[in-house]
A and B are shown apart, each in its own frame.
Chain A
């Protein structure tokens, strides 16, 4: 579905991604692991068009989408839940979700209404707080809202940037349970995480990124069992 081929991208003058190759299989959860500064966020931002890539191709259903602006990428069915949630603080929960459907024709009100219901069923707390300003929600609720907003564009591929960041373990478990459910309903997910255990527990395939390069990849189960990932994290290798 999505293939990154030899992608390089810069963060200022620093080469944050160095010739990265990555495959996202349709219908799977693919995870990219790595510590801070490994280039995970840069990779998602390159895919969704927020930053330019220097070299390489991003193939989405065989078409190179590198260099397309974000508003076109969203229309193609790739939705990005950014680092730090980035919800619209001064707007209500409902307005945030409606903006998520911005790329869809507003004549399809009934359909959008149905998807709102879907999001409220997925995250009931959002339904209860429909009228509340997003800025007054807790971190976990804001994360749910950011995911809900991304779903409102009816994506085929969901990009998630560290949904666990700064959240209590129980909230993290809830959110990952929802991700698993979305996956079971057919959504393809590309997840970026630091929390290795929980990310691998729901993933099909995983990559480990270190200073902008893929240093390890394999089926999630194998990585979970293997010792190598721990060593990479502890810095005993390379």
Chain B
């Protein structure tokens, strides 16, 4: 037990890194859900595609890292657009559930496609900055600073987008009442396209900062954990995603430490944390920890 507590700072530092990734993923889930009512099960694939494309651009084609990252994000955003136009749009009027199932199909399709292009089990995605930094009780890769900085920047940008721009107000209006949104002149179809494209960028960023290694299947775990974070946060605004991401990220690493140091079992079981959290929240507080019931007076 003593070893567990002395290692706790390290677990928390590790947890901050995962939290950033889950926050980004959760914002993607929440944005699409709140503006279209669809849970996009292909959200994890955005992360995988972007990380793998970044690998190819920088390692195979030798592009500078910045260009590779920009290229990977641009392509992932385009995949998001395409997903909305080719899969979601044709199903308009067929019900939300149909669209959700279609995203599961899209996820399988993208995963299989990625496997053809990137068949290996692991590709080394370049880190933005090499090296390790040491604190008194913990150490971390310099990459963590990038993760923190980029996540903080993205959270702030999303907040401004949703609250300070016309696009954001349109997206929020669609989330609250799609029909009323149409009646005030918002192009709901355009909003849905924008939501998917932005969610793809968020997922893409998560994939880029998430791991030193990427493969075609990484989207599954990132998807589950990001989705859990989003559900904890109530699948709504930016705050919820941040809260959910931190909850899942920190808890997961602390549990991993507990499992390996105290119980002596594989820390790989930590992946169950997100699933258990997801089931508990759905059972006991389906509106999320911060979700409020609908204020409505008839």
Contacts and interface: CB of A to CB of B under 8 A. Distances in A.
Interface of A: 48-50, 69-71, 74-75, 79-80, 82, 86-91, 95, 98-100, 102-103, 106, 133, 135-139, 142, 149-150, 153
Contacts of A102: 166, 169-170, 173, 184-186
Contacts of B189: 69
Given A135-B296, A139-B298, A71 B180 contact: no
Interface of B is mostly: helix
Given A70-B185, A102-B170, A102-B184, 10 more contacts: A69-B187, A82-B180, A86-B183, A89-B296, A99-B169, A99-B184, A103-B185, A136-B295, A137-B297, A153-B184
A12 B172 CA distance: 29
Nearest to B175: A90
A159 to B, nearest CB: 10
Nearest to B169: A99
Interface residues of B, number: 23
A50 B179 CA distance: 8
A168 to B, nearest CB: 14
Contact of B180 (A49, A86, A139): A86
B185 A75 contact: yes
A74 B183 contact: yes
B162 to A, nearest CB: 12
A80 B183 contact: yes
B180 A153 contact: no
B294 interface: yes
A101 to B, nearest CB: 8
B182 A88 contact: no
Contacts of B181: 99
Nearest to A80: B183
Nearest to A166: B298
Contacts of A90: 176, 294-295
B177 interface: yes
A86 B179 contact: yes
Nearest to B180: A86
A212 B189 CA distance: 30
A70 to B, nearest CB: 4
B251 to A, nearest CB: 29
Given A102-B169, A106-B166, A74 B297 contact: no
Contacts of B180: 82, 86-88
Contacts of A50: 179, 182-183
Contacts of A71: 182, 185-188
B176 A153 contact: no
A33 to B, nearest CB: 23
11 contacts: A70-B182, A75-B185, A87-B177, A88-B180, A89-B177, A89-B296, A91-B173, A91-B176, A99-B186, A138-B297, A149-B184
B264 to A, nearest CB: 49
* Shortest 9 CB-CB contacts between residues of A and residues of B: A74-B185, A103-B185, A135-B295, A86-B180, A70-B182, A71-B187, A71-B185, A88-B176, A102-B184
Interface in B103-127: none
Contacts of A135: 294-297
Contacts of B295: 89-90, 133, 135-136
Interface in B180-224: 180-189
A74 B184 CA distance: 7
Contacts of A49: 182
A102 B296 CA distance: 23
B297 A136 contact: yes
B296 to A, nearest CB: 5
Contact of B184 (A69, A103, A106, A139): A103
A207 to B, nearest CB: 23
Given A88-B176, A88-B177, A102-B166, A82 B296 contact: no
A91 B186 CA distance: 16
Nearest to B298: A139
B142 to A, nearest CB: 42
